[in-house]
Chains A and B, each alone.
Chain A
Amino acid sequence: MSISRNNDAWIEDLQTPGPRKDAAITDLLAWLQKRLFFYLRDRSDLRSRHDGELQDMSADFAQESVLIILQKMDQFQGRSKFTTWAAKIAVHQALGELRRARWRDISLQAATQDGAFEPDFLRRKDVISPEGSAIQKEAMDVVMDVMQNELSERQSRALYARLVLGEPSSVLAEELGVSHNTLYKLIHDARKRLKARLLERGLSPEEILSSFK
């Protein structure tokens, strides 16, 4: 396998229709599949899967990734090795698929339980013990007030879905009908608002955290 190509050779081979391109695709597929397989086999959440199943998964991920890589060739700027760039795309693709699959399982389980959105999910009586510090109680009041009165419903729901439920951002972005970037900014604005309100009251998150010790 000629994986020793430099960046220029990879680009030229993958963009020259015919046997050179076919050989480069075969090499790239094999290189990615082997690494994805060892990575998947090392994941604790996939320990129950047989090697054959992991081989199939890594083959599927590698094939999907190579299609994406070929579509994105014009975006490769040569700031890293071509194989590093390709591996980054493959990891993004594979982990995105794994997160979506895991979320399907979790959300199916949650459908039978009470998984409804709770704007007051950090209820003080459950979180702060009677001997809890005054600073924690005051901070909780500020956070709950902002969550319920200042953030939009969409921001509160997004924050809840990511922080509490651990919903994958790609799934959440689809549900909200926004791009991944817009979702990030939506939650970033919510975090900034919460932090600003705490700081206005002289409460730094670091100080509140240290009060737990």
Chain B
Amino acid sequence: MNASQKGRSSDLQNLWQKLLRTLSLTHERELTCDEAQDLMDSYVELELAGENPQTILPKVSQHLRICPECKEEHDALIKILKMDED
């Protein structure tokens, strides 16, 4: 197997594992992005206050594990709001 084939095989392996991880996190009932976004401000405030939002808003936590876009926005929001603390 040459370097290019090895790279392609590795990409596909990563993809296969990514799909399996996504399936392992799939639940019968999930929040949509809009529903998760609706609760995102409350969620990050709980997080910044040192509370455990995963217990209080578990469905949002679940959505953030499966949706990379909402996770990216969550992380950005935390960064932005932490500027007020620094």
Contacts and interface: CB of A to CB of B under 8 A. Distances in A.
Interface in B9-28: 9, 12-13, 15-24, 26, 28
B69 A99 contact: yes
Given A79-B42, A95-B73, A188 B26 contact: yes
A67 to B, nearest CB: 18
Given A140-B16, A191-B23, A209-B24, A91 B77 contact: yes
B31 to A, nearest CB: 9
A205 B21 contact: yes
Given A39-B79, A79-B42, A88-B37, A192 B19 contact: no
A87 B26 contact: no
A188 B28 CA distance: 9
Contacts of B56: none
Chain A binding surface, main DSSP class: helix
A157 interface: no
A198 interface: yes
A37 to B, nearest CB: 10
A164 interface: yes
Contact of B69 (A80, A94, A95, A204): A95
Contacts, number: 105
A205 B24 contact: yes
A69 interface: no
Interface residues of A, number: 46
A30 interface: no
A122 B15 contact: yes
Nearest to B37: A92
B27 to A, nearest CB: 9
B51 interface: no
B65 to A, nearest CB: 13
Contacts of A209: 17, 20-21, 24
Contacts of B16: 122, 127, 140
Interface of B: 8-9, 12-13, 15-24, 26, 28, 30, 32-34, 37, 40-42, 44-45, 69, 72-73, 76-77, 79-81, 83
Given A95-B69, A123-B12, 10 more contacts: A39-B76, A80-B45, A87-B81, A95-B76, A127-B15, A140-B16, A163-B15, A198-B23, A209-B17, A209-B20
27 contacts: A36-B80, A39-B76, A79-B42, A80-B42, A81-B41, A81-B45, A87-B77, A88-B40, A88-B41, A92-B37, A94-B76, A121-B15, A126-B9, A127-B12, A127-B16, A129-B9, A168-B69, A169-B33, A169-B69, A180-B33, A195-B23, A195-B26, A198-B23, A204-B24, A205-B21, A209-B24, A212-B13
9 A-B pairs with least C-beta separation: A80-B41, A205-B24, A205-B23, A191-B26, A35-B80, A184-B32, A127-B12, A84-B41, A195-B23
